[in-house]
Structure 1
Amino acid sequence: MAVYIVFDVETPNRSNDRMSAIGISAIKDNKIVANYFSLVDPETHFDYFNTKLTGIDADKVKGAPNFAELWKKIDPIMSKGILVAHNAVFNMSVLRACLRDYGISWKPTAKYLCMVRIGRRVLPDMKHNLNVMCDHYGIALDHHQADSDSHACAEILLRYIESGIDVREYVKEYKL
């Protein structure tokens, strides 16, 4: 059985190269076995749009770890399985930028699944926005909150697996 590390990040501004929050849900033996959330001090400015969308601003991240401090805690989690995100290219690119900007050497590539990509193949007649997918499956969602988004994405992945979809066919490699 594969281990899936479902994650979602929120960003402070349109540069999309820093995190202001991360949510992680780990799936093992087709069950969500752990959830993790942290605000992140992005050490940069917040755009109005991002703050309005996520509710996260400079005051909210005061005292939160920066990415380098956070990475020491989440590296063991992120290293345990195949990474999964709703819009994986976006989330993986933010992760890559943070690793690069903080001089953290992790690994050259990471295996990942994109839930939008899988959804477009298995449910081609639907929109694949996270909120639409959650409505379709009856999954609670507090949208643009990293912990809720990662947990909801994990629930969707489990629905796919339970319905007999071999998600391993959709695994890709992302260059970090």
Structure 2
Amino acid sequence: MAHPSYVALDFETANYKRTSICSVGMVKVVNHELTETFYTLVNPKDFFATKNIAIHGIHSEDVQNAPDFSYVYPYMLQFIESLPVVAHNAAFDMSVLHASIKAHQFETPDLTYFCSYQLSKKTVATQRNGLKHMMQYYNLDFHGHHDALNDAKACAMITYRLLQHYPSLESVLRVYGKNLQDKDVL
């Protein structure tokens, strides 16, 4: 049986705009092992809403010298390679990625993704399926919710547990996988 490989992704945004990425975290899982991480602050060149700062603790002065999305994006693609991407609440994270790609007039990549939140709702009987709740359900340590890298690590661990209920990652992607290029996805 092939061991699943994927990249868990999480964004934090400066405000309500999908184009206001202020940090990105990614975790690469290959053959059941967390092999690599990617984290950076991102300068959204936009305002920081009080509500968002209260969630993730990132302020405008924190990203003053950080690269912008146009600089970070090629490195993200290099990190992801051709692996499927998973996010806990992919509807949010993938819409952030898509909006940011469009805003910078980049070509939309051929990127397959799936949602660990949706997968958890179909797989385990829990009252709540948020990241924190799924970490508690699987009795996993959680350090620093709403830190993009910590959330990506949490998503990777949850996905690892969820995939144990399925014959293969390919079978999950056949049912739940989506492509960023599909017009009806976002």
1:136 Cα deviation (Å)?
A: 1.3
Specify the SS of the correspondent of 1:10. Answer: strand
What CA distance in whole angstroms lies between the structure 2 residues aligned with 1:110 and 1:151? 20
Contact kept, 8 Å, 1:20 with 1:40, in 2: the verdict is yes
- Which runs of structure 2 are paired with 1:1-176 in the superposition (5 Å)? 1=2, 2-107=4-109, 109-141=110-142, 142-164=144-166, 166-171=168-173, 172-176=177-181
Q: 1:13 to 1:65 in 2, by over 3 A?
A: same
Deviates more, 1:152-161 or 1:83-92: 152-161
| Alignment check: 8 A CA contact 1:88 1:114 kept | yes
Superposition TM-score, scaled by structure 2 size: 0.87
Offset at residue 130 of structure 1 (A):
0.4
Secondary structure of the residue that 1:22 maps to in structure 2?
Answer: strand
Larger deviation, residues 146-155 vs 109-118: 109-118
User: Could you tell me whether the CA contact under 8 Å between 1:31 and 1:158 is conserved in 2?
Assistant: no
- Normalised to the residue count of structure 1, the TM-score between the two structures is 0.92
Matched position secondary structure for 1:32: strand
Structure 2 gaps, min length 5 = 182-186
| Shift in Å, 1:163 | 4.8
* Deviation (angstroms), 1:78: 2.2
After superposition, the C-alpha distances for 1:75-132 in whole angstroms (9 at most, x for unaligned) are 111233001000011100000011111111142x421110011101111333101001
Cα deviation 1:41-76 (Å, max 9, x = unaligned): 011111100011100111010111100111122211
The answer to whether the 8 Å contact 2:108/2:180 transfers is no
8 Å CA contact 2:13–2:52 kept in 1: the answer is yes
Report how many aligned residue pairs link the two structures: 175
Q: Which residue identity does 2:180 align to in structure 1?
A: K
Alignment correspondent of 2:184? none
User: Matched residues in 1 for 2:111 and 2:21: separation?
Assistant: 19
Q: Could you tell me which amino acid in structure 2 is paired with residue 122 of structure 1? A: T
Q: Residue type of the partner of 1:126? A: Q
Uncovered stretches (5+) of structure 1, i.e. residues with no partner: none
Identity of aligned residues (%): 24
- Counterparts of 2:45 and 2:30, CA distance in 1: 34
Contact 1:18 1:97 in 2 (8 A): no
